[in-house]
A and B are shown apart, each in its own frame.
Chain A
Amino acid sequence: MSDSIKNVEEKSGVVVITTSGYFNNIAGDAVLEVFNEKMEEGRTNFLIDMEDSKVVNSIGVSILIELIEKLQTVDGKLAFTNLAAIVEKTFNIMGLTKYCEVYDSVDSGVDNLS
C-alpha cells in the first residue's frame, strides 16, 4: 500500500479510505488506484477519511473530481470525513462539496452512506 494510504476497509458496504500526510498528486493517484480497484469489485459507496491529511494541494484534490465523475456513471456516492477547516474550505471553493457530503466522523459517514 502507498505511504499516502493509511488504511482501506469496508464497513457496512462502504469503502473507507484513510489517507496519510500531504494530499498531493501522489496521494491523489494512490486514492484513485484504490478507488478503481474497488469500483471493479462493484463497490459504489466511498468515504475518504482525511484526519491524517491536514494539508492538501489542488492537484491532489483535482484527482478527486475524477472519482466523482466515475461515481456519477454508477449512481455511487463519495463523501469525506475528518476534514481540517482549510481542507473543507478548499473543497468548497473547488465545488467538491456540491457533490459530496462531509461528515464529522467515520461512523457518521458510514451510517449515512450505507
Chain B
Amino acid sequence: MNKQNPVVELKLPVIPDIELSATKTAEVISRHMNLSEEKTGEISMAIIESCINAFEHSKTKEIFIHFIISADKLTIKVKDQGVGFDKSKVEIPNIENKLNSDERKRGWGLQLVSALMDTVEYDSDETGTTVTMTKKREDNE
C-alpha cells in the first residue's frame, strides 16, 4: 500500500442504524472504483455486520472506519477501542443447531463477513479490535 492511496475515514457514534451511513459511503467508493453491484452489496453487508459486532461487543461509544482505495482492491478497516475478543472462542454458527434448540439464533456476523469478503483479518486485544477486510477489484486477481 503506498502513500498515494486515497483514504476515506468515518467516525461513527453508537446510535441506531448508523451503520447505514457507512454503507452509503461504501456505495460511493464502489462506484468510483467501478466495482460491480454484486461486490458493492457484499461490501455493504460486511460493513453492516462488522459495525454491529463492534457496537454489540466492544463496549465502546464510537467506531472508526477507513476505506483505503488502491489499484487492485478496496481495503476496509473497522476499528474500535473496546474490550476486544478472542476469535478462537467464537463458535461457527449452523442453522441446524439453532433450529429446535435453546441456542440463540444470532451470532452470524463473523461467518457472513468471511463469506462475503476476499480476505478478513482480526487484530484484537484488551485495547480494541481492528477488522481488516479486502475486496479485490477483479475476480481473477
Instruction: From the candidates A24, A55, A58, name the one contacting B108 in the complex (CB within 8 A).
Output: A58
With A57-B48, A69-B99, A69-B100 as contacts: A22 and B20 at CB distance below 8 Å: yes
Confirm or deny: A33 has a beta carbon within 8 angstroms of a beta carbon on chain B. Answer: no
Judged by a CB distance under 8 angstroms, whether A63 is at the interface is yes
Whether A96 touches B95, Cβ cut-off 8 Å, given contacts A58-B112, A89-B42, is yes
**Does B8 count as interface, using CB distance less than 8 angstroms?**
no
B37 touches A85 (CB 8 A): yes
Q: Which of B44, B48, B107, B115 contacts A93 (CB 8 A)?
A: B115
Chain B residue at minimal CB-CB distance from A92: B115
CB pair A55–B44 under 8 Å, yes or no, is yes
A59 CA to B56 CA in the complex, in Å? 11
**Residues in A87-107 with C-beta less than 8 Å from chain B:** 89-90, 93-96, 98-99
**Bound complex: CA of A23 vs CA of B79, how far in Å?**
24
Specify which chain B residues have a CB less than 8 angstroms from the CB of A65 in the assembled complex.
95, 98-99, 105
**Interface residue range, chain A:** 20 to 34
Select from chain B the residue with minimum beta-carbon distance to A58: B108
**B109 contacts A by Cβ under 8 Å:** yes
Digitize B49-72: 1 where CB-to-A-CB distance is under 8 Å, 0 elsewhere.
100100000000000000000000
Find out whether the CB atom of B95 lies under 8 angstroms from the CB atom of A86: no
Contact assessment for A94 and B95 in the assembled complex, using a CB-CB cutoff below 8 Å: yes
Interface residues of B (CB under 8 A from A): 17, 19-20, 23, 37-38, 41-42, 44-45, 48-49, 52, 93-96, 98-100, 105-109, 111-112, 115-116
Q: Which 6 A-B pairs have the closest CB atoms?
A: A86-B41, A95-B95, A58-B108, A62-B105, A65-B105, A62-B106
